[in-house]
Structure formats: structure tokens, C-alpha cells
């Protein structure tokens, strides 16, 4: 079996109120078996860069055996010049191709990916409701008042969740987004009081449930410590991305605040995880399968974390392709903590992109037993995608 072509697809969605441009690849073979992978740069700015990198990388693997994921991974990493510690777009391209070849591998052996990773260590995955500052309904709605936070948390509790994640510094009380220059400095009492009032309301509503503070790297060391100190008395589960993704900066926060830190969606490749894990900076690592280097790399990151008794939660903020892959990997990770169920995975405009809509029941996910990663693009997604097909083999770029 050989790889014959790769379709690089930029999906058109009916999203409202946010940038959302998923990039998916489909790796095709001469045996008729194909696999899907996702480059997880749909949000923010960078999806076209990921698509471009995928187009450049695809020619290198034409003619290769898709079962040999390590051979393919190392070729893409070593023979593309810039992929060695190459950042988001390059690692997103590697990740998407890697995810797709694991999908092929599972289909070839007629097994779900978690079996190929060693088997599932748990039958269900506890999950948390993520990004409740956008509400917890069928559309994205800014949460600004204490009533908004109470309502979103109650909806999550009613669905069986016992953990939530919220960025308390996304919107001010008038629904205006905070600007970076407002949050990357010592915060005035007015902002700290706003954050704490929201956090206090969350704790009141959640009772003994878990609360995760999301920061999206929108705070610096000084403001992150200020918020962390205010938050300590509320029994926070973990504190995510309090600074830019730097082990030095995170360590300064970790040394000052008694809340476990988490990070990973902007950390690329196992090498970048080493200081965070070895130095005990993070309590939870959060590799994104669409940017960390794919399933091949995520398994290594997870095993390294387990060795140092560090927890793992796959970062999941993508289409149903990424969700299915995350469930497969988390089933097989020894130090799995909790699964992220992002608010965008509740949106109709996201759910209609894939054949299977994986949603939790009473706050927990079953693990898909479908061969491969367990999902494919829907006819709607395929019919509305912008597709670039690479079928010509290309030798190394340098």
C-alpha cells in the first residue's frame, strides 16, 4: 500500500461571530484506504499558512507506505529544513498528515487507534465544559454579568458536567473585549475585583465542582500572579496558559501561585515539552494533536509526562476530526486527567462538518470503536471545501 495523493481542504463553514477556517487533509492510497487529519489553526490567524505548509509537505510522502508513521514523521521533520522546531504552521502540517496515516493504519488493521496505541486504559473519559465566557448554549454569547456566569454554569451542571473552564478576562462588564495592553501589566483593583466576583459566582454555582481558569496567554507574569493569588482560595483545578508559552515565564508564576499550571496548545514537539515536564513547571500538559506533531508525537509527550507524574489533557478546539482523534489518544494515555469539550463542538455549524457528532453523556465520553480515528468529513463539508490535490512526488526541499 502506497500514498498516491493528498487532498488539502480548506472548509467553508456557516460560523457566525468568529474566525473559523478548518484545514483538513485526506491522505489517499492505492488500496482505496484513506485517512483524515486536521491542522489545528482554524481559529486565530494562520489557517492559510497551515494549508500552504500542507501543500508543500504533501509531495514528500507520495509513494511512501502509510503504515510507517515513524518513517513519515521523521522525513517531514528532518527533510523540510524549517520543521525542526519550526513552530505552528509547520507542526500543524506534520500533525495533520500524521493523524491521517494513523487513521489509515486503524482502517487497515480494522482497529480503532486506541488499540494500536496499546489499548484503552479507561472505558469513559470525564470531560469539562470549556469556554463558558461564550455561554453554554447553541450559539456563542458573551458572558459579562454574574447572572450570565451563573446561567452558563447551571446549564453545564444540568447536562452532567462537574467541571468548567472560563477565561474571566475576555470581556469587560460592557461586553467589550479586553485589549492586550490592559491585561499585560499590573492590574488595577477594578479589574481584579471584576475577575474575583466572576470567579466567586462560578464557585457558588458549581459547588464542589472543578473550576479551570483559562488565560489564553493574555496575561503576563505580573498580572497572572495577581489573578492566581486572588484565585487560590477558590480551590482551582488548574490555571491554563497564564503567560506566553515560555518555561521561564511559567516557572515564575508556578513559584508564586499554589495552583497547578497547564499549557500546551502553543507548544510544538516533544522537545519543547522537556523543560516544562522535567522541572515540574506544569501540573497538566495539553498537547493539541493538530499542532504538537500529531498522534505519533502526542503519545511520546504523554508517556514522558507520565514518567514525571504530570497529567495530560489533549487540547481540543477543532472539528469532529480532532475530537475523535483526541478521544482515541486520551483513552490510551496513562496520566490522562480530563477531556476538553469546547463550546464550539456544540455549534451546528461545526457539527455538520463530520459524519459522527461525538457529544458527552452526563459529562463523560464513550470511546469510539470505529476503525481508525473514528470520524470523516460529511458530504456538506466535502461539497463546500476548497480542495488542492497533491499527487506528484517531491524530493526533499534542501
pLDDT tens for each residue of the chain, 398 residues long: 999 999 999 998 876 566 789 999 999 999 999 999 999 999 889 999 999 999 999 999 999 999 999 999 999 999 998 888 879 999 999 999 999 999 999 999 999 999 999 999 999 999 999 999 999 998 999 999 999 999 999 999 999 999 999 999 999 999 999 999 999 999 999 999 999 999 999 999 999 999 999 999 999 999 999 999 999 999 999 999 999 999 999 999 999 999 999 999 999 999 999 999 999 999 999 999 999 999 999 999 999 999 999 999 999 999 999 999 999 999 999 999 999 999 999 999 999 999 999 999 999 999 999 999 999 999 999 999 999 999 999 876 55
46: left (phi over 0), alpha (psi -120 to 50) or beta: left
> Which option is the CATH number for 115-366: 1.10.3720.10, 3.20.20.120, 3.30.930.10, 3.40.1160.10?
3.20.20.120
Residues of the chain with CATH 3.20.20.120: 115-366
Among residues 284, 370, 283, 285, the alpha carbon closest in space to that of 325 is found at 370
Q: How far apart are the first and last CA of the chain?
A: 27
Residues of the chain with CATH 3.30.390.10: 3-110+377-390
pTM: 0.96
Contact 327, 113 (CB under 8 A): no
For 3-110+377-390, CATH gives 3.30.390.10
Amino acid at each position: 500500500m502506497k500514498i498516491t495523493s493528498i487532498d488539502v481542504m480548506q472548509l467553508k463553514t456557516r460560523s457566525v461571530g468568529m474566525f473559523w477556517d478548518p484545514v483538513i487533509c485526506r491522505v489517499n492510497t492505492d488500496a482505496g484506504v484513506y485517512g483524515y487529519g486536521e491542522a489545528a489553526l482554524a481559529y486565530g490567524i494562520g489557517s492559510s499558512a497551515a494549508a500552504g505548509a500542507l501543500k508543500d509537505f504533501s509531495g514528500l510522502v507520495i509513494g511512501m507506505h502509510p503504515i510507517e508513521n515513524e518513517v513519515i514523521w521523521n522525513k517531514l521533520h528532518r527533510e523540510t529544513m524549517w520543521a525542526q522546531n519550526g513552530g505552528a504552521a509547520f507542526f500543524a502540517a506534520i500533525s495533520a498528515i500524521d493523524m491521517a496515516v494513523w487513521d489509515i493504519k486503524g482502517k487497515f488493521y480494522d482497529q480503532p487507534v486506541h488499540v494500536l496505541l496499546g489499548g484503552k486504559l479507561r472505558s469513559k473519559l470525564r470531560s469539562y465544559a470549556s469556554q463558558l465566557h461564550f455561554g453554554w448554549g447553541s450559539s456563542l454569547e458573551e458572558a459579562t454579568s454574574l447572572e450570565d456566569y451563573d446561567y452558563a454554569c447551571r446549564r453545564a451542571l444540568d447536562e452532567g458536567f462537574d467541571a468548567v473552564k472560563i477565561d474571566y478576562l475576555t470581556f469587560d462588564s460592557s461586553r467589550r473585549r479586553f485589549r492586550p495592553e490592559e491585561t499585560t501589566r499590573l492590574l488595577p483593583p477594578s479589574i481584579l475585583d471584576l475577575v474575583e466576583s466572576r470567579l466567586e459566582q462560578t464557585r457558588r454555582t458549581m459547588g464542589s465542582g472543578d473550576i479551570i481558569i483559562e488565560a489564553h496567554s493574555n496575561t503576563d507574569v505580573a498580572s497572572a500572579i495577581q489573578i492566581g493569588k486572588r484565585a487560590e482560595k477558590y480551590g482551582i483545578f488548574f490555571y491554563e496558559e497564564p503567560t506566553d508559552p515560555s518555561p521561564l515565564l511559567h516557572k515564575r508564576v508556578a513559584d508564586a501561585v499554589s495552583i497547578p499550571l497547564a499549557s500546551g496548545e502553543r507548544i510544538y514537539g516533544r522537545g519543547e515539552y522537556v523543560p516544562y515536564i522535567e522541572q515540574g513547571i506544569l501540573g497538566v500538559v495539553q498537547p493539541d494533536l493538530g499542532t504538537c506533531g500529531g498522534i505519533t508525537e502526542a503519545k511520546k509527550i504523554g508517556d514522558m509526562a507520565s514518567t514525571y507524574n504530570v497529567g495530560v489533557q489533549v487540547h481540543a478546539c477543532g472539528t469532529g476530526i480532532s475530537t475523535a482523534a483526541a478521544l482515541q489518544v486520551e483513552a490510551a494515555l496513562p496520566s490522562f486527567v480530563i477531556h476538553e469539550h469546547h463550546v464550539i463542538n456544540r455549534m451546528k455549524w461545526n457539527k455538520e462538518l463530520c459524519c459522527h457528532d461525538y457529544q458527552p453523556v452526563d459529562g463523560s465520553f464513550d470511546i469510539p470503536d470505529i476503525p481508525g480515528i473514528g470520524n470523516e468529513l460529511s458530504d456538506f463539508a466535502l461539497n463546500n471545501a476548497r480542495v488542492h490535490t497533491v499527487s506528484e512526488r517531491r524530493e526533499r526541499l534542501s
